[in-house]
Structure 1
Amino acid sequence: MTFRTLEKVAPPAAVRLAERLWCTVPRGPVRPFDVPGERFVVPVDGRSVVVESWGEGPIVYLLHGWGGWRGQFAAFRQPLLDAGFRVVALDAPSHGDSDAGSFGRGRGLLPEFTVALTRVVEAVGPAHAVVGHSLGGAAAAIAVLDGLRTRHLVLVAAMADAIPYTRDYAATFGFSERTRVAFLSRLELRVKRRMTDFDVPVRARAAVSPLPPALLVHDLRDKEVRHSDAETLVAAWPGAELRSTEGLGHRRILRDPGVVAEVVAHLVGTPAARPEQALEDVNA
């Protein structure tokens, strides 16, 4: 009823509310890694992004999804270390221990995930691989399409394009197509980018420069990000491979030993996984 009333008496207010709700980060428990790493801060546009690091070797960056935090990758830490990688995990703006983003506390923006990842890589060192979950997977793919260099990209339960989900969002909250289009236009002004910039399959098909090989892992019963997103991504991204699971859902997939082993084996199975060669190849 709120949106129906606002659309009648104050359409601009309905648009502002739609934008705020879309950008509101869901609250949840934030648990640290079981074994603390070296914690430090990387400044991003005047705000602090918290980063945690373990080990030495080729760097694997871990980027959580919407409403997540770096500790969600706890199951990946030791297997990656055992495989000879350095593990670097970050909290996106308005998530975990990092400062609030430009939209204020409790609200986040996809481009800020992308910028934070890029700045952390610039500060810490070349990426052998980036592993992104959910919205963090989309952000990692966009960062690569924007020019971030990495040997490998792993997308776990990643969203292909946010636009279809805004239609689901409008249906859930009961606001009109006019409000949906207007709130997206308002969001474009806020982030200073067109929404089409975040359509990963379209941009991957149009990419001129070679893209790194991608491994996609997605559950067939994921209720938050449709499995069809993974199918669309793997069809659009050159050299991409898809591994489908069943019954792990959207978040438990990050804790599954089989999924972790699959990702680590994928990274170890390449010649560049040798520490002394990987850094050299990335810098070539």
Structure 2
Amino acid sequence: MVERFAPGIGVRAATRMWFTVPPAMPRSLLPPPPRGRDAHLELDGRMLYSTVWGAGPPVYLVHGWGGRSEQLGGFVAPLVAAGHRVVAFDAPAHGASGPGRFGATSTIPEFASALHAAVLAHGRPHAVIAHSMGATATAFALREGVRPGRLVLLAPMGDPRAMLGAFADQLGLGTRVRAGLERSVQHRIGLPFEAFDVAATAGVVAVPPTLVVHDRGDREVASAESRTIAAAWPGSRLVLTEGLGHRKLLRDAGVLEDVVGFVRAPLRDHRGPA
């Protein structure tokens, strides 16, 4: 009925649902990271919850859509022990941070802007470790001038347009509402979907040495996304896990060891496309 008689209403409702941040897992249900230092961080006058641990070359942790910084807390202790300053934040409208530009909503560019604000406050990243849509935002941040020495993408969402298609399928949207939703999303963000294609980023900017980790059984983001990214990014390494799904890999001892070992390894000369 909406598809035929009121597609505009359907587009507005679907757009609101697409951008609205789902409730994050309560902090009390997550293993607490080591005690850190509160870091004052703002984005366009809005407060971002941020914590810093240790000292040394900075490593930034970027959570995913509907997540919070504590989900990557397992990386803190081993990175600090390896001589790094670790910086984590909750993205706009996530966790304990203030609202996004449009209230209880957020976007990939807002995630990327939050990372950029953290980098301005704490220095050029030795590394960024990013999960899910946080990985998408970090790849976009490369296009916007953030230059990590190395990068870890955990279960990255490589193609937001495909995710939008899956979202439309889940809602049972018809052709007119689906097309209107895509136009509406692009209008809100002010950029085409191609700007967020992670694999294509390697054709736009020089990408750093990158470790891509994904579980074969991930039901939220297919591991094929990581295969595509790893094939397109020069010098990247792909690790596929079993039985960890989309979030358990953030606490898996083997994944932690692999990621921290990659971050600690000496940097070598790495050149991407001109």
Q: Same fold (TM over 0.5)?
A: yes
Equivalent of 2:261, from 236, 261, 265?
265
Alignment partner, residue 131 of structure 2: 133
Q: 1: distance between equivalents of 2:267 and 2:157?
A: 29
Alignment partner, residue 95 of structure 1: 94
% of aligned pairs identical?
42
Alignment partner, residue 35 of structure 1: 34
Q: 2: distance between equivalents of 1:114 and 1:251?
A: 21
Alignment partner, residue 48 of structure 1: 47
CA contact 1:30–1:69 (8 Å) conserved in 2: no
Q: How many angstroms does 1:271 deviate by?
A: 4.6
Alignment partner, residue 272 of structure 2: none
Unpaired segments of 5 or more residues in structure 2?
A: 269-274
Equivalent of 2:9, from 9, 13, 16?
13
Q: How many angstroms does 1:52 deviate by?
A: 0.4
1:127 alignment partner, SS class: coil
Q: How many angstroms does 1:34 deviate by?
A: 3.5
Q: How many angstroms does 1:164 deviate by?
A: 1.0
Q: Deviations over 1:173-230 (max 9, x none)?
A: 11113222211211222122122111111232x22x4221110010000000100000
CA contact 2:24–2:68 (8 Å) conserved in 1: no
Q: 2: distance between equivalents of 1:29 and 1:41?
A: 23
* Matched AA of 1:242: L
Q: 2: distance between equivalents of 1:167 and 1:87?
A: 36
Q: Deviations over 1:107-130 (max 9, x none)?
A: 221111011101110111110000
CA contact 1:141–1:153 (8 Å) conserved in 2: no
Q: 2: distance between equivalents of 1:166 and 1:191?
A: 14
Equivalent of 2:172, from 174, 181, 197?
174
Q: How many angstroms does 1:104 deviate by?
A: 1.3
CA contact 2:37–2:52 (8 Å) conserved in 1: yes
Q: 2: distance between equivalents of 1:97 and 1:123?
A: 19
* Matched AA of 1:45: D
* Matched AA of 2:160: A
CA contact 2:25–2:67 (8 Å) conserved in 1: no
TM-score normalized by the length of structure 1? 0.90
Alignment partner, residue 122 of structure 1: 120
CA contact 1:188–1:194 (8 Å) conserved in 2: yes
The CA RMSD measured in Å over matched residues stands at 1.4
TM-score normalized by the length of structure 2? 0.93
1:36 alignment partner, SS class: coil
Matches within 5 A, 1:1-284: 5-31=1-27, 33-105=32-104, 107-204=105-202, 206-207=203-204, 209-271=205-267
Unpaired segments of 5 or more residues in structure 1?
A: 273-284
Q: 1: distance between equivalents of 2:252 and 2:243?
A: 11
* Matched AA of 1:145: R
2:25 alignment partner, SS class: coil
